[in-house]
């Protein structure tokens, strides 16, 4: 094969490797929404619950996956809890341990700033199912709070990591080939 053809092949390999590495790098962090509700009303109840599920075993990930989300309120007197399903019974019966039994707890003070969303993140995943709980601290006097909650499962994709490494390997091979071709060419002159 002629040197010019080898150079073209190496440049094409470098371009493909760069494209694969760049694209897969942008796809490393994945996120699946588990729960997304806006304008949740407590409707005259002491607390309301919802279930958020994800089967973690169905995901191929590297590093520690996380539960992330945000909560905002319009009104006052609301506590937010995210509880592992296995702790649900204990959470209901042991009021003094509710914070300790929760993966995430945002109390009334944390949610009192009504103009911004309160962000949270936890690597303590526990089970594959969680209970989203909103507690009305002002029950039964006040029932006008409205709450927005978003919860997602965030992870780094194993397949994207492999593609990123493959792209870098192609780029590295192309660079080495170009160096060898250039040195051979210089050696002949």
Mean pLDDT of 24-33: 83
What pLDDT was estimated at residue 58? 62
**By the 8 A CB rule, do 40 and 111 touch?**
no
Mean pLDDT of 118-132: 77
What pLDDT was estimated at residue 109? 67
Mean pLDDT check: name the lowest of 115-119, 135-139, 146-150, 159-163. 115-119
**By the 8 A CB rule, do 135 and 109 touch?**
no
pTM: 0.68
Q: Which helix (H) or strand (E) holds 17?
A: helix 3-26
Mean pLDDT over each residue of the chain, to the nearest integer: 80
Q: What is the CA radius of gyration of the chain?
A: 26
What pLDDT was estimated at residue 74? 78
Q: Which of 55, 30, 37, 62 is nearest to 125 (CA)?
A: 55
What pLDDT was estimated at residue 61? 67
What pLDDT was estimated at residue 169? 94
For residue 29, report the phi and psi dihedrals to the nearest 5 degrees: -90, 120
pLDDT band at residue 55, thresholds of 50, 70 and 90?
low
CATH of domain 3-188: 2.60.120.1540
**Which residues are CB-contacts of 70 (< 8 A; sequence separation ≥ 6)?**
117, 118, 119, 120, 148, 149, 150
pLDDT one-digit tens code per residue, 102-112: 888 887 666 66
**Which residues are CB-contacts of 57 (< 8 A; sequence separation ≥ 6)?**
128
What pLDDT was estimated at residue 16? 93
Cα 16 to Cα 170: distance, rounded to the nearest angstrom: 8
């Amino acid at each position: 094969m002629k040197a010019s053809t080898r150079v073209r092949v190496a440049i094409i390999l470098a371009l493909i490797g760069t494209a694969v590495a760049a694209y897969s790098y942008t796809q490393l962090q994945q996120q699946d929404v588990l729960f997304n509700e806006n304008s949740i009303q407590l409707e005259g109840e002491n607390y309301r619950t919802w279930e958020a599920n994800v089967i973690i075993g169905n995901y191929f990930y590297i590093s520690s996956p996380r539960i992330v989300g945000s909560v905002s309120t319009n009104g006052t007197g609301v506590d937010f809890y995210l509880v592992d399903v296995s702790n649900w019974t204990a959470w209901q019966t042991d009021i003094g341990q509710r914070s300790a039994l929760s993966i995430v707890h945002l109390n009334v003070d944390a949610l009192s700033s009504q103009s911004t969303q309160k962000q949270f993140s936890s690597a303590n995943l526990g089970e594959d199912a969680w209970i989203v709980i909103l507690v009305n601290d002002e029950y039964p006097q006040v029932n006008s709070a409205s709450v927005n909650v978003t919860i997602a499962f965030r992870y780094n994709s194993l397949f994207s990591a492999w593609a990123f490494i493959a792209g870098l390997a192609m780029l590295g091979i192309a660079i080495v080939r170009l160096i060898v071709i250039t040195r051979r060419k210089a050696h002949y002159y």
